[in-house]
Chains A and B, each alone.
Chain A
Amino acid sequence: GENVEQHPSTLSVQEGDSAVIKCTYSDSASNYFPWYKQELGKRPQLIIDIRSNVGEKKDQRIAVTLNKTAKHFSLHITETQPEDSAVYFCAARNTNQAGTALIFGKGTTLSVSS
């Protein structure tokens, strides 16, 4: 089955700096890669996702890149703000195979200090 590794486990940045979180996956058939944000005491929520037919996707200060050959994908947050502080989870799934689950990485705790 799919295995997702996520690094780093913790990341501390100054407000205004950029933050990058990296994930690798094991199943070359995976084609859907979402990122979820979980604020303290709240449930995870989808912030951005990318499918394997594109290499990059951007939404305001957030961007994701995908390298299918190397089987890794990254989340980039620019101009970080204190409200970006949260745990971020990457995930991977093969949507072409019925019954396959979305598998998450172990998460990255991002702390943005002002």
Chain B
Amino acid sequence: AQSVAQPEDQVNVAEGNPLTVKCTYSVSGNPYLFWYVQYPNRGLQFLLKYITGDNLVKGSYGFEAEFNKSQTSFHLKKPSALVSDSALYFCAVRDRGYSTLTFGKGTMLLVSP
């Protein structure tokens, strides 16, 4: 089975500060990992993905994520948060033996001015 956990329902950060949104996963084999963002009343938008190769993945809007196999984590990071980054963030995983993605419950990121 494959599963993903986002341990924080909400993350609060001040504008200009670094942000981290946590994600841990469980798969039986090697994972494919994704981050998506959802702005209010919109569908999800792709941010970045890890398939293979470099453990540090860079994505849209200055976001990056680090794949850590020993800790089974794929935390989303940004060096300097913007108020416009406030949104709902979803981590998703796919075990290479599966054909579908499993999404986490989402983490609301609130960036204050």
Tell whether A pairs with B: no
Residues of A within 8 A of B (CB): none
B interface residues, Cβ below 8 angstroms from A: none
